[in-house]
Amino acid sequence: MQVFNVKNNVYSIGVSDKGLRVFDIMMETKHGSTYNSYLIKEEGGVTIIDGVKAQFTAKWLDNIRSLVAIEDIKYLVVQHTEPDHSGAIPALLALNPNIEVYGSFMAMANLKEINNASFKSNVVRPKQELKLSERQSLFFHPVPNVHWPDTIITHDPLNAIAFTCDFLGQHIAPPQLRYSQEKNKQIIEEEIKLYYDAIMAPFKNDALKSVATLKSLDVSMVLNSHGYILDTKEAVDWAVDKYIKWSTVHKSDKLTVTVVFASAYGYTKSMKDVVVDELLKAAALVHVFEVPNDDLATIVTRIEESDALLVASPTFVGDGIKPIYDVLNSLNPVMGYGKYFSAFGSFGWSGEAIRNYMNRASELRFKIIDEGFKVRLKPSEKEFDDTRLYARNFISKVKAELNK
Ligand SMILES: Cc1cc2nc3c(=O)[nH]c(=O)nc-3n(C[C@H](O)[C@H](O)[C@H](O)COP(=O)(O)O)c2cc1C
Ligand SMILES: [Fe+2]
Ligand SMILES: [Fe+2]
């Protein structure tokens, strides 16, 4: 990626990783990615904002040297310490140990563990000013958890630029970085959504707080750290509106419960029917899904909107079954936190599924308020009554907890 002037004294000094096919173990990146990094060339105070991945250190240093001498760098702002942005920083600090490094408390603590040598660390307070010159200052705005606890946004009011690191990024490695100059907007639209889903979606509340912070600033350009930069006010508004839409969870006022079930011979299914009947009698809003048939992404969205998740499943080979674990494995402790969980179902002889789902849900920080419920093989009339009782107990406990 070529060095280019973004606006006035702000330059792009990032690198392209076109061949990247998997990011962070989990995310497919079929268009590669870029690690965007920026340099502000102000007389008496050259500033670098964010680094790049370690394997691109040489290219990054060359990019910097094409604009300034390494000795002339005065400040380094570390907005996020994930190694795709911090990996190359130890090499820079080794070349110029006088650089004053700025970042959140968490970022400075993390960088200590990445640099493994002392450096000039400055923990920033919310809205703290860093004066680069008489005419130009940077202001730091902590926006934790988009997507690490260390993240900040840096505002340059002189140029109406916000540096946002991962926030509003996309994994794509285009030949030129300006959103306004890309004709194929569809590809950016797809990639910003894939990036949001993989990286930001667990932190919807924090994403909304970051949007509010960004909206409170005078910004006509967002310089992010992956893919296209949002180089017009329209582009910024477009991306921010998407983040608002994707981060807004539509929670009903009613008690809302998602029920996910699987059943080979219909025994668990018949138990599910009476549980759903009890939920409806209690005036709950109920979303029922059967796995593996129903769409996983929709199931996860409904769980996010719910107060509780109920899982209904038989035991197979001493454990729960893959389609139910696929649902649980699509959640994380941020999503589970504050929600209630229970599991029930039919079993043949050992019935481990229920206990194992409850354990997994507990790891996902769901609140566990009963022991689950299981019936051996085909439920009898008495066992259906017990199933109803189990459901009623669960509902009344959840209602009592929510009214606390
Ligand atoms: C392939 C297979 C493996 C099973 N393994 C177990 C097991 O390890 N422990 C157990 O309690 N039941 C086991 N079962 C029995 C089922 O849990 C039982 O038949 C249950 O009633 C099925 O309920 P469903 O009709 O809702 O699927 C197994 C059943 C199948 C088909
Ligand atoms: Fe990151
Ligand atoms: Fe990143």
Atom of ligand 1 nearest to the CA of 351: 11
Cα(69)–Cα(61) distance, rounded to whole angstroms?
A: 10
Q: Which residues are CB-contacts of 200 (< 8 A; sequence separation ≥ 6)?
A: 146, 147, 166, 167, 207, 243, 246, 247
Rounded to the nearest whole angstrom, what is the distance from the C-alpha of residue 353 to the centroid of ligand 3? 38
User: How far is CA 264 from each of CA 170, 277, 315, 347, rounded to the nearest angstrom?
Assistant: 42, 21, 10, 11
User: How far is CA 233 from each of CA 19, 32, 176, 180, rounded to the nearest angstrom?
Assistant: 31, 26, 19, 10
Tokens of 299: 């199931």
- Return the residue matching tokens 């199931």: 299
pLDDT at 45: 83
Closest CA to 339 of 297, 311, 319: 311
Single-letter code of the amino acid located at 244: I
What stretches of 66-147 show up as alpha helix (H) in DSSP?
83-86, 89-95, 105-115
What are the backbone angles phi and psi of residue 15, rounded to the nearest 5°?
A: -130, 160
Domains for the chain: give ranges and CATH numbers.
4-247 (3.60.15.10), 256-398 (3.40.50.360)
Residue 283 CB less than 6 A away from ligand 1 = no
Residue 349 CB less than 6 A away from ligand 1 = yes
Rounded to the nearest whole angstrom, what is the distance from the C-alpha of residue 307 to the centroid of ligand 3? 32
Residue ranges with strand state E in 124-217: 129-131, 137-142, 152-156, 161-165
pLDDT at 1: 83
Cα(371)–Cα(339) distance, rounded to whole angstroms?
A: 16
pLDDT at 44: 78
Atom of ligand 1 nearest to the CA of 378: 21
Tokens of 175: 């030949």
What is the tens place of the pLDDT at every residue in 38-52? Answer: 999 998 789 999 999
The ligand with the least distance to the CA atom of 110 is 2
Tokens of 57: 């250190």
Rounded to the nearest whole angstrom, what is the distance from the C-alpha of residue 233 to the centroid of ligand 1? 58
Residue 315 CB less than 6 A away from ligand 1 = yes
Query: pTM (2 decimals)?
Result: 0.91
Q: Which of 270, 319, 347 to mutate to test the pocket of ligand 1 (most atoms within 8 A of CB)?
A: 347
Residue 246 CB less than 6 A away from ligand 1 = no
Residue 347 CB less than 6 A away from ligand 1 = yes
Residue nearest to atom 31 of ligand 1 (CA): 316
Answer whether 201's CB lies under 8 Å from 145's CB: no
User: Radius of gyration over alpha carbons of the chain, in Å?
Assistant: 26
Residue nearest to atom 25 of ligand 1 (CA): 265
Cα(226)–Cα(37) distance, rounded to whole angstroms?
A: 9
pLDDT at 404: 87
Rounded to the nearest whole angstrom, what is the distance from the C-alpha of residue 147 to the centroid of ligand 2? 6
Which parts of the chain register pLDDT below 50?
Answer: none
Atom of ligand 1 nearest to the CA of 319: 8
Residue 333 CB less than 6 A away from ligand 1 = no
Tokens of 21: 């096919």
pLDDT at 129: 98
Answer whether 232's CB lies under 8 Å from 179's CB: yes
Answer whether 153's CB lies under 8 Å from 124's CB: no
User: How far is CA 338 from each of CA 137, 288, 398, rounded to the nearest angstrom?
Assistant: 41, 20, 11
Tokens of 355: 């206990």
DSSP 327-353: HHHT--HHHHTT-EEEEEEEESS--HH
Rounded to the nearest whole angstrom, what is the distance from the C-alpha of residue 345 to the centroid of ligand 1? 10
Residue nearest to atom 30 of ligand 1 (CA): 316
Residue 378 CB less than 6 A away from ligand 1 = no
Closest CA to 165 of 137, 124, 130, 195: 195
Residue 351 CB less than 6 A away from ligand 1 = yes
Q: Is 190 exposed, middle or buried (0-12, 13-18, 19+ CB in 10 A)?
A: middle
Residue nearest to atom 21 of ligand 1 (CA): 377
Atom of ligand 1 nearest to the CA of 270: 26
Answer whether 287's CB lies under 8 Å from 259's CB: yes
